[in-house]
A and B are shown apart, each in its own frame.
Chain A
Amino acid sequence: MSSRELVVLMKDIVKVYPDGTVALRGVNLELKRGEIHGLLGENGAGKTTLMKILSGLIKPTRGEIYVKGKKVSLKNPAHALSLGIGMVHQHLSLVPVFTAYENIVLGLKNMKPGKTEIEKLMDSTGLKVPLDEVTENLSLGVRQRIEILKMLLRNVDVLILDEPTTNLSPIETRELFKSLRSLKEQGKTIVLITHKIREILEITDRVTVLRKGRVVGSVETNNTNSRELARMMVGREVILEIDKPPVRVGEVALEIEDLHVMSDVGGEAVKGVSFDVRYGEIFGIAGVEGNGQVELAEAIAGIRRVLKGRILLGGKDVTQLSTRERYSMGLSYIPEDRRIALAMDMSVAENSVLTRIIYDKTLVNKMGFLSFNEILRQAMKLVKEFDIVISTFSSPVRTLSGGNQQKLVVGRELSREPSVILAVQPTRGLDVGATEYIRRLLVKMRNKGKAVLLISSDLDEVMGLSDRMAVMYNGRFTGIVDPRKVTEEEVGLMMGGYSIEEIRHEVN
């Protein structure tokens, strides 16, 4: 492997953002032809920054870049593309009303490739896309393929993927990896940013670990293991298994009766779901994303209309109550997307009370004005208790790294003294350290007697944390099971629409 030709060499890269944040402190990176190179590191370690530099999106403060042996100074993404370097960003940037084909050829000036040519490329890479479908109707996985095809048609040799699997189902991830392997066979170099060590071990040839803007090490994937990688990343031992004391359940805290919920596109997203969550337990809902989980959560929070059925909080029917009333009754809600949970242009301090502002009287002083002291006190408490890295309390939350934004949301929701916690994808996009931390917090909440409803498409997460779990498929539960008494295969089948009875029956 080491004899392979070097395609990219980044030397002593330093990046200081205009606000003074030092994102990279002298990073070296080598990329070889035909390798899949993993980039691993905690939230805010500088992975995205490093790759934005390589793709010409931002300029390094210091440092040198060599592409195929020649020193270059990348002016913009188009320049990087002309040198064969292309990046697919975590949040895709396609025109929603264009067809897949239009998006693929968008911006190609001369020589628009015909559909047959693109179809040939799709065959050779396995990146299948319905070319005439309007993009907004396509799943995230397919949109990502469009972005990759776009890059390939521009003849990139180095393809950078920033957290491509974060929003993919396990099946989509498997397909993506198959395509990446075939691209590698064709001699392409792929940089894969991910937080999932399992994926790094599965597909990469080499992995570079960043920590706080420095390279901790570059290793051959074959010569390492998950424990070592986690340690390199976080700088300490990470316990990936979380142990829980036996469950001591109390009364029913949240009860859902035959709930039907509307979807955005018309029709029902949730088609009759019943379950209850008790104080002192974590109830998990697993399932491939897009099977009604988000709509279910929104209905419980009072954000989405219920068509039929009842929601009871602490024994009281809240189906007709507003979000505000539910929050003041002790419901906390961590939504699946932190861009919903935060007002990005508002300050860290203001965001630390976003879900309390509408009901918490202590935030308002006698004059009727917001009490800055109280808000700041709250913000300081969160920052300290949850170890959130910020520059100042008045800086907009959008300047925080993804992980720190998520910690702010989770911290805020868990410190509201809730009795029922509704957590949807609480660790999405987080590094192992932060993931471990937040999972521990959820377990701690459970041990303190709170009711936790955990909705996640991360099977490890749901099976590892839940005391009881359901699997959701197409708006319904395919079963409620004890996570210690099912296998991953069984849950996988349930996620595909088989009920637990069907599965067990088949086996016997």
Chain B
Amino acid sequence: MSASVKLEYVSYIGNVLLALITGLAIGAIIISWGGYDPISAYRGLFETSLNIADPYYLAMTLSYATPLMLTAATFAISARAGVFNIGAEGQVFMGALGAVVVASLKLPDQLYLPMALLLGILMGALWGLIAGLFKVLRNVNEVVVTIMLNWIAYWIVEYARIYVYYDRYRPEKTISMPRSGVLPVLVPGSELSASFIIALIVTIIIYLVLWRTRLGYSIRVVGIGLKTAKYAGINPGLTMLYVFIIGGMISGLAGALEICGRPPTYAITTGASNIAGLGFAGISVSLLGLNHPIFIIPASIIIGALNAGSRGMQIRAGVPLEMVKAVQGLIVIALAVPGFTYMLRKWRIRKALRGETGD
């Protein structure tokens, strides 16, 4: 890494801090405008998220970071290939549904977990593949296709939740994963389970794929320029298809892990509210982490902390849920702004590079 690259990162972190302060400041204005005390609201936020003294809150932060890390990895690997894939949302839905399907079956105990994860991954991959085929074969814009597929997935899951896989005793949710199929909880009483470790490993694998394999090399060349890729003998369409499939697998896994690894329900709840929004939040995480798998890890923890702390804000400062959500969303967007402009600039530079270079 050359000196100027390092310098670039330093200035980036500076920008993120600036964005964070701006987000917090505007949030404070909103909170006090609503008649609440911003100081105690933010104290509530941080004391129930990044509180080193209390492992429960830290565990909650990490548990919220888990799915975000994965959906961010989906966006990141696509962005590296120059594809703006926002289909993680729908792929999470399909992955979760896959796990619920397995939960509904009669199986030997030890098969629930592997089968649930496998079917989740496969269904996510299928959803990614469909988007990829539209993009590669018919050259349909990936943003349009993935948004449509997100909605289709949502309604499939809702239908399945209400009519097919509902829990006979608690019909507001689906059948839960049997005890034998859930991942161990790491911090008793919290929602942090071994799915965090799985997410961490997968994210690192994505890093290795991108920088240490032939496929990752091809992905990055495709992201730099189609002409260069073709010149290098790389098939851009096939490479993009791989990216969609891998992305779908990761987000499908994220969905399945929510079913197998998040106490207490281990199911999809009313309106799919416990799995909704994870894919979109992943975009912010990826942008904050400069679409780099390793940087995504701390980025997901930051956004996870905001999620974890929202309850504290509500309980400790009495801020109503709607306002908490608004402030939280504001800060998330603020945090993603520097990364977004960074990506745009890179893509613009890339375009400019086609017109200017070398001297």
Interface residues of A (CB under 8 A from B): 18-20, 43, 48, 89-93, 162-163, 301, 303, 322-324, 327, 333, 335, 338-346, 350, 354-355, 357-359, 363-364, 368-370, 391-392, 394-395, 398-402, 405, 429
Q: Do B221 and A401 have beta carbons less than 8 Å apart?
A: no
- B137 interface hit (Cβ, 8 Å): no
Cβ contacts under 8 Å, B221 to chain A: 343, 346, 354
Pick the contact of B355 from A92, A338, A395 — CB < 8 Å? A92
Not counting A323-B231, A355-B231, A405-B357, a sample of 7 additional A-B residue pairs whose C-beta atoms are within 8 angstroms of each other reads A89-B356, A93-B355, A340-B225, A343-B228, A346-B220, A357-B218, A398-B353
C-alpha gap A338/B354 in the complex (Å):
10
A370 near B2: Cβ-Cβ < 8 Å = no
**CB contact between B358 and one of A18, A359, A402 (< 8 Å): that residue:** A402
CB < 8 Å neighbour of B3 from A20, A322, A346? A20
Q: Which one of B40-48, B60-68, B209-217 is at the interface?
A: B209-217
Question: Which residues of B from 220 to 237 have beta carbons under 8 Å from A?
Answer: 220-221, 224-225, 227-228, 230-235
Q: Which residues of B contact A358 (CB under 8 A)?
A: 214, 218, 232-234
Considering the chains assembled together, what is the distance between the CA atoms of A438 and B350 in angstroms? 28
A344-B224 contact, Cβ under 8 Å, with A93-B356, A398-B357, A401-B359: yes
Q: How far is the CA of A43 from the CA of B2 in the complex (A)?
A: 22
With most chain A CB atoms within 10 A of its CB, the pick from B213, B214, B354, B358 is: B358
Taking the complex as formed, is B208 at the interface, i.e. its CB lies under 8 A from any CB of chain A? yes
Kindly state whether residue B52 has any CB partner on chain A within 8 Å. Answer: no
Return the chain B residue nearest A392 by Cβ: B2
B residues 295-322 near A (Cβ < 8 Å) are none
- Complex partner residue of A339 from B4, B212, B220, B353, CB under 8 angstroms: B353
Chain B hits for A339, CB < 8 A = 225, 228, 353-354, 357-358
Determine if B358 and A400 form an interchain contact, defined as CB atoms under 8 angstroms apart: yes
Q: List 27 A-B contacts (CB under 8 A).
A: A20-B3, A90-B359, A92-B355, A338-B358, A340-B227, A340-B228, A340-B231, A342-B228, A343-B221, A343-B225, A346-B224, A355-B232, A358-B214, A358-B218, A358-B232, A369-B212, A370-B212, A370-B214, A391-B2, A392-B2, A394-B1, A394-B2, A398-B353, A399-B2, A401-B358, A405-B357, A429-B358
Is A333 touching B2 in the complex (CB atoms < 8 A)?
Answer: no
> Is there a chain A Cβ closer than 8 Å to B105's Cβ?
no
For A355, give its contact among B4, B214, B220, B233 (CB under 8 Å): B233
Query: 9 shortest A-B CB distances, which residue pairs?
Result: A402-B358, A324-B233, A323-B233, A91-B356, A358-B233, A19-B4, A48-B359, A369-B212, A402-B359
Q: Which residue of B is nearest A394, CB measured? A: B1
Is the beta-carbon distance between A333 and B214 smaller than 8 angstroms?
A: no
Residues of A within 8 A of B2 (CB): 19, 391-392, 394-395, 399
State in angstroms the CA–CA spacing of A162 and B355 once bound together. 14
User: For the complex, is B7 an interface residue (Cβ under 8 Å from A)?
Assistant: yes
**CA separation between A84 and B24, bound complex, in Å?**
48
Q: From DSSP, what is the main secondary structure of chain B's interface residues?
A: helix
Instruction: List, in ascending order, chain A residues with CB within 8 A of B224's CB.
Output: 343-346
Proximity string of chain B (1-21) to chain A, C-beta cutoff 8 Å, 1 when within and 0 when not: 111100100000000000000
> Which A residues are CB-close (under 8 A) to B212?
369-370
Whether A19 and B217, one on each chain, are in contact in the complex, defined by CB atoms closer than 8 angstroms, is no
CB-nearest residue of chain A to B231: A340
Chain B contacts for A429, CB-based, 8 A? 358-359
B81 CB to nearest A CB, Å: 13
- Which of chain B's residues has its CB closest to A371's CB? B212
The docked-state distance in angstroms from the alpha carbon of A429 to that of B353 is 16
Interface residues of B in 179-236 (CB under 8 A from A): 208, 212-214, 217-218, 220-221, 224-225, 227-228, 230-235
Closest to A17 in B: B4
Q: Which residues of B contact A398 (CB under 8 A)?
A: 353, 357-358
A405 near B233 with CB under 8 A, answer: no
> In the complex, A48→B358 CA distance in Å?
10
The residue from B7, B214, B354, B356 contacting A357, defined by CB atoms under 8 A apart: B214
B233 touches A322 (CB 8 A): yes
Q: A18-B7, A358-B218, A402-B359 are in contact. Are A323 and B353 (CB under 8 A)?
A: no
Q: Which residue of A lies closest to B217 (CB)?
A: A357
C-alpha gap A48/B357 in the complex (Å): 11
In the bound complex, how far is the Cα of B32 from the Cα of A3, in angstroms? 74
Q: Write the nearest CB–CB distance from B238 to chain A, whole angstroms.
A: 11
CB neighbours (8 Å) of B217 from chain A are 350, 357, 370
- Give the residue among B218, B346, B353 with the most A Cβ atoms within 10 A: B353
In the bound assembly, the distance between CA atoms of A392 and B1 in angstroms comes to: 9
Q: Are the CB atoms of B355 and A341 closer together than 8 Å?
A: no
Residue of B2, B3, B213 ringed by the most chain A CB atoms within 10 A = B2
In whole angstroms, how far apart are the Cα atoms of A359 and B217 in the complex? 13
What's the minimum C-beta distance from A368 to chain B, rounded to whole angstroms? 7
Chain A hits for B208, CB < 8 A: 369
In whole Å, how far is B277's beta carbon from the nearest beta carbon of chain A? 32
Q: How far is the CA of A43 from the CA of B225 in the complex (A)?
A: 25
B353 near A303 (CB under 8 angstroms)?
A: no
Are A354 and B232 neighbours in the complex by a CB distance under 8 Å? yes
The residues of A that contact B350 with a CB separation of less than 8 Å are: 344-345
Taking CB atoms, residues of chain A closer than 8 Å to B356 are 89-91, 93
- Asked whether A303 lies within 8 Å of B214 as measured between CB atoms, the reply is no
Across the interface, which residues of B come within 8 angstroms of A346, CB to CB?
220-221, 224
